[in-house]
Amino acid sequence: MNVVTLKAHYDGEKICLDEPLDIAPNTPLVIAIFRGEGETEERADWIALAKKGLARAYGDDEPDYPSDLVQEKPVE
């Protein structure tokens, strides 16, 4: 089976290919629909996990480091 991947869009009435392709009538197609970039449930779970990790790393119980322990790379 020869597979071709093309970009396309839906104009409100039909699916329109964004680039030309000669297709014979009744050629089988597979359509993958990418929903808008809205936040999916999985994405929300990853964001919540990241927030928990950051809160744990930079929480209220984080020790205060004296400024003499902070090292800066010298400017060249």
Q: What is the pLDDT of residues 42-63, one digit of tens each?
A: 788 888 899 988 887 777 777 7
Q: Is residue 69 part of a domain?
A: no
Tally of domains in the chain: 1
pLDDT at 64 over 70: yes
* Mean pLDDT score across all residues of the chain: 82
Q: Is residue 76 part of a domain?
A: no
Q: Is residue 26 part of a domain?
A: yes
* pLDDT band at residue 37 under the 50/70/90 scheme: low
* pLDDT band at residue 18 under the 50/70/90 scheme: very high
Q: Is residue 52 part of a domain?
A: yes
Q: Is residue 50 part of a domain?
A: yes
Q: Domain of 42?
A: 8-59
Q: Is residue 20 part of a domain?
A: yes
Rg, Å, the chain Cα set: 26
What does the chain come to in residues? Answer: 76
Mean pLDDT of 13-20: 92
CA distance linking residue 36 with residue 39, whole number of Å? 9
**Helix, strand, or coil here: 59?**
coil
Whole-model pTM above 0.75? no
Q: Is residue 39 part of a domain?
A: yes
Q: Is residue 53 part of a domain?
A: yes
